[in-house]
């Protein structure tokens, strides 16, 4: 297993803390006048996104986290796992529900995603900032009302429900911001 | 610094030059002699927590070390009868880099013969107030002992607390560290608490001098003749940042050499580079180091505060990253 010395600490470095993979977001060296120096770091848990503080004696070595980020294409869900494929090598990986929980309702087949692997298993799946998805269900629009105004719920082909303007109709393709799950615009053919 | 320009502005460097001139006139007026000593020596510090750069000569294949402070050479001058002396020089410490550290930095170090460390604290206070200027008019000077400091900020006695009490104190203050990696060195635990919890609160809007450290953290200071648990050592803090470290200097050559030997042993146990301690220094103080106090002050940090800047790279022309 690879190790990093505290001298190599820098933002973005992936390390193991209590068995979980973390990414360093801040590294500060504190050194009293004489005596032992410490690296006081803030690390983000790559599984939960939670940021914690942690201190190491300077010079100590810390286990590296085997973490890889890949651009993979989403293929299908077999009921238990979500399958992704490397479009160059055609290698496939299966992601558990925990990895796709945040994006599951916006995940469409063929979409390219950023998949973070920890020890070879998908840990998180991130979508592009914007995806295009078709409306499968919504109340009929009010004729002629294309002005600013009210919103109504619309169900998308992946299952997500978003608030959309009143003029949106079933079958239309919408641009969705995946960070907020909000409607951005209609996609013109 | 893609364009190769300095990390400090030219205007800052002009102000820095004025501060250096003011320091020199401060010592000129007080009749303290400016000296220059070698940066490169065949001996180095054996301090467990300070790492030297080793330099090998292509001519005589002798390994030498860049000094981490000019202390040994300056004490050789004191032993030779120089009287009070000061030096402004670059010091080198391997592996030190942060907002407040650079592996090469400017030190102001001075020694006052016949001064007690309490008298030297007064002189450090005078110098720092002169450099910081009018803003110090409403700043108090606070002197607290190491023991009172730990009691005030953490409610523990640093001289008697057990390892378990120090561990609990760290946990209660939100320090997340592996106890195994810390081991049972009391000074490491005290330094952990000091650096994480206490230091950030020291010297807020005032000059805080911390004095009378545990004897185990004496470095080159004298053990108090009144209390064998206490070393006559002090530090100055400004806005949570250490600015200076001073000693009532240890003059006993046997005790000095004994400390070197013990520290060297610790370096080897900890897998650090084995550096020979300064034999010339031991020889010189065997002739007799006069009773004196000395202090080392980080010039870059002081300039940083004087100019209201947020990191030492803003007061250095070229930091380690771009030199």
**pLDDT number for residue B313:** 94
Query: Hey, how many other C-beta atoms are within 10 angstroms of the C-beta on A69?
Result: 13
Q: Name which of B175, B196, B217 is nearest A35 (Cβ-Cβ).
A: B217
The model's pLDDT over B58-92, given as tens digits with 9 standing for 90+, comes to: 899 899 999 999 999 999 999 999 999 999 999 99
- State whether residue B194 sits within 8 Å of chain A by CB: yes
Would you call A34 and B219 a contact, using CB atoms and an 8 Å cutoff?
yes
The answer to whether residue A144 scores a pLDDT higher than 60 is no
ipTM score assigned to the predicted complex:
0.87
**pLDDT, greater one: B209 or B1:** B209
- Among B179, B192, B246, B271, pick the best mutation site for testing chain A contact (most A Cβ within 10 A): B192
Say which range, A31-40, A94-103, A147-156, B252-261, has the weakest mean pLDDT.
A147-156
**pLDDT, greater one: A144 or B116:** B116
Q: What 3-state DSSP class applies to A44? A: strand
The pLDDT-based confidence of A141 (bands split at 50, 70, 90) is low
pTM over 0.90: no
The answer to whether residue B253 scores a pLDDT higher than 70 is yes
Q: Which of A30-44, B1-15, B95-109, B140-154 has the highest mean pLDDT?
A: B140-154
Would you call B96 and A7 a contact, using CB atoms and an 8 Å cutoff?
no
Residues of B in contact with A18 (CB under 8 A): none
Q: Name which of B181, B191, B195 is nearest A60 (Cβ-Cβ).
A: B181
A62 half-sphere exposure, CB direction, 13 A CA radius = 29
- State whether residue A186 sits within 8 Å of chain B by CB: no
Q: If you average pLDDT over residues B17-40, what whole number do you get?
A: 98
Q: If you average pLDDT over residues B103-120, what whole number do you get?
A: 98
Residues of B in contact with A11 (CB under 8 A): none
- B263: nearest CA in chain A? A35
The answer to whether residue B256 scores a pLDDT higher than 60 is yes
Q: If you average pLDDT over residues B229-247, what whole number do you get?
A: 97
The pLDDT-based confidence of B182 (bands split at 50, 70, 90) is very high
The pLDDT-based confidence of A31 (bands split at 50, 70, 90) is confident
Q: Name which of A31, A54, A60 is nearest B195 (Cβ-Cβ).
A: A31
Percent of chain B with pLDDT over 90: 92
Q: Name which of A36, A53, A60 is nearest B191 (Cβ-Cβ).
A: A36
**pLDDT, greater one: B245 or B319:** B245
The model's pLDDT over B282-295, given as tens digits with 9 standing for 90+, comes to: 999 999 999 999 99
Give the distance from residue B231's alpha carbon to the nearest chain A alpha carbon, in angstroms. 13
**pLDDT number for residue B85:** 98
**pLDDT number for residue A145:** 54
CA angle A74, A79, A84 (to 5 degrees): 20
- State whether residue B212 sits within 8 Å of chain A by CB: no
- B195: nearest CA in chain A? A32
The model's pLDDT over B143-171, given as tens digits with 9 standing for 90+, comes to: 999 999 999 999 999 999 999 999 999 99
Would you call B187 and A36 a contact, using CB atoms and an 8 Å cutoff?
yes
- Residues forming beta bridges with residue B143, ordered by sequence position: B209
Residues of B in contact with A54 (CB under 8 A): 176-177
CA angle B2, B8, B10 (to 5 degrees): 105
- State whether residue A34 sits within 8 Å of chain B by CB: yes
Q: Where are the beta strands (DSSP E) in chain B?
A: 33-34, 40-41, 54-56, 63-66, 85-92, 104-113, 140-145, 206-214, 230-238, 241-248, 292-298
**pLDDT number for residue B272:** 92
Contact partners, residue A59, CB within 8 Å, separation at least 6: A5, A6, A7, A37
Residue B277 corresponds to which tokens in the numbers above?
């301690």
Give the distance from residue A5's alpha carbon to the nearest chain B alpha carbon, in angstroms. 11
The pLDDT-based confidence of A147 (bands split at 50, 70, 90) is low
Closest Cα partner for A153 from A171, A127, A134, A135? A135
Cβ distance A13 to A23 under 8 Å? yes
Query: What's the mean per-residue pLDDT of chain A?
Result: 91
The answer to whether residue A171 scores a pLDDT higher than 60 is yes
- State whether residue A33 sits within 8 Å of chain B by CB: yes
Q: Please give the distance of CA A162 from its chain centroid, rounded to a whole number.
A: 19
- State whether residue A29 sits within 8 Å of chain B by CB: yes
**pLDDT number for residue B172:** 97
- Residues forming beta bridges with residue B54, ordered by sequence position: B65
Would you call A54 and B176 a contact, using CB atoms and an 8 Å cutoff?
yes
- State whether residue B310 sits within 8 Å of chain A by CB: no
């Amino acid at each position: 297993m690879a190790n990093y010395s505290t001298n190599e600490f820098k933002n973005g470095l992936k390390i193991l803390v209590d068995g979980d993979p973390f990414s360093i977001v801040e590294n500060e060296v504190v050194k009293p006048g004489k005596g032992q120096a410490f690296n006081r770091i803030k690390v983000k848990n790559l599984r939960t996104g939670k940021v914690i503080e942690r201190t190491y004696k300077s010079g100590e070595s810390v286990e590296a986290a085997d973490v890889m980020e890949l651009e993979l294409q989403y293929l299908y869900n077999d009921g238990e796992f979500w399958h992704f494929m490397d479009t160059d090598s055609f290698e496939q990986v299966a992601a558990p529900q925990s990895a796709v929980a945040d994006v599951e309702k916006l995940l469409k087949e063929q979409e390219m995603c950023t998949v973070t692997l920890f020890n070879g298993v998908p840990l998180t799946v991130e979508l592009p900032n914007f995806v295009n998805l078709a409306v499968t269900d919504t109340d009929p629009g009010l004729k002629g009302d294309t002005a600013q105004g009210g919103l109504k719920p619309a169900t998308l082909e992946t299952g997500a429900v978003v608030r959309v303007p009143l003029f949106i109709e079933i079958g239309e393709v919408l641009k969705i911001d995946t960070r907020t799950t909000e409607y951005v615009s209609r996609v013109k053919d | 610094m893609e364009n190769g320009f300095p990390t400090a502005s030219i205007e800052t460097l002009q102000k820095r030059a004025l501060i250096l001139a003011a320091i020199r006139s401060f010592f000129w007026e007080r009749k303290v002699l400016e000296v220059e000593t070698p940066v490169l020596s065949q001996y180095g510090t054996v301090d467990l927590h300070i790492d030297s750069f080793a330099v090998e000569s292509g001519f005589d294949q002798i390994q030498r070390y860049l000094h981490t402070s000019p202390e040994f050479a300056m004490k050789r001058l004191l032993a030779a009868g120089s009287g009070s002396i000061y030096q402004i020089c670059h010091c080198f410490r391997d592996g030190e880099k942060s907002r407040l550290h650079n592996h090469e930095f400017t030190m102001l170090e001075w020694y006052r013969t016949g001064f007690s460390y309490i008298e030297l604290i007064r002189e450090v206070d005078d110098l720092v107030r002169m450099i910081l200027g009018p803003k110090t008019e409403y700043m108090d000077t606070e002197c607290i002992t190491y023991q009172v400091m730990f009691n005030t900020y953490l409610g523990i006695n640093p001289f008697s607390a057990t390892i378990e009490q120090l561990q609990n104190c760290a946990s209660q203050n939100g320090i997340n560290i592996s106890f195994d990696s810390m081991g049972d060195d009391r000074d490491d635990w005290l330094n952990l608490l000091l650096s994480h919890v206490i230091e950030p609160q020291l010297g807020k809007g005032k000059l805080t001098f911390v004095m009378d450290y545990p004897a185990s953290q004496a470095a080159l200071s004298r053990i108090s003749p009144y209390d064998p648990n206490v070393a006559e050592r002090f530090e100055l803090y400004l806005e949570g940042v250490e600015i200076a470290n001073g000693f009532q200097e240890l003059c006993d050559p046997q005790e000095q050499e004994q400390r070197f030997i013990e520290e060297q042993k610790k370096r080897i146990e900890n897998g650090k580079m084995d550096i020979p301690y300064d034999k010339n220094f031991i020889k010189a103080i065997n002739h007799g180091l006069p009773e004196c106090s000395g202090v080392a002050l980080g010039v870059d940090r002081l300039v940083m505060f004087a100019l209201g800047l947020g990191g030492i790279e803003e007061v250095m022309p070229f930091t380690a990253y771009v030199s």
